[in-house]
Amino acid sequence: MIAAPGGGKGTQGQRLAAKFGIQHVSSGEVLRAEVGAGTPSGREIAAYQQRGDLVPDRIVFDLLTPVVAAAAARGGYILDGFPRTLPQAITAADLGRRLDLTLDAAVYLNVPEPVLMQRLLARARADDTDDVIRHRLEVFTETTSPLIDYYRGRGILVEVDGDQPPESITADIQARLPDH
């Protein structure tokens, strides 16, 4: 799942995972859980999240790899919020190969920026303040959005209009996913 902050990755990731009976793996949640555990790496993560910066790849990979491997062993997964950079996309592909999984689709939820702002300001998460939101949107545009073309070039991009009721978005995604 690729989307700007507030784009609905979490909501759609959960809905799709429930429909397909597979695991929903949210990198943001895995990182927030580490913050909640109060470990040294959790304190490091908190500083990046509070600023709206990306957490360094090494920390993300170390925490996410075992979660992804466990999800693969249980039949597959929807990754929400990972990969977020081109190097992460390459690592995600390597990891999928090692776990004997194919990447079926990269789903991009396209949502206009004013709608994103409204949704984020209504959500009131710790990193949903005005300045931090603006910065996270910039990080998305600069660092994450190149993944859209990357997956389009590989022929697996599924782009949907993310400014619709949740059920309609899920239906659009399902209609466009490759058959098994």
| Spatial distance between the Cα atoms of 136 and 5, rounded to a whole number of angstroms | 7
| Spatial distance between the Cα atoms of 119 and 47, rounded to a whole number of angstroms | 23
| Binding piece for ligand AMP, criterion CB under 6 A, among 24-32, 91-99, 108-116, 167-175 | 24-32
Burial 67-99 (b: 16+ CB within 10 A, else e): bbeebbeeebbbbbbbbbbeebbebbeebbeee
**CA distances, 49 to each of 31, 36, 131, 132, 165 (Å):** 9, 13, 13, 9, 28
| Binding piece for ligand AMP, criterion CB under 6 A, among 27-35, 97-105, 109-117, 163-171 | 27-35
User: Per rule CB under 6 A, is residue 8 in the interface with ligand AMP?
Assistant: no
Interface residues for ligand AMP in 113-152 (CB under 6 A)? 127, 136
Site string for ligand AMP, 51-90 (x = CB under 6 A): -xxxx----x--------------------xx-x---x--
> Which residues contribute to the site for ligand AMP (CB under 6 A)?
5, 27-28, 31, 48-49, 52-55, 60, 81-82, 84, 88, 127, 136
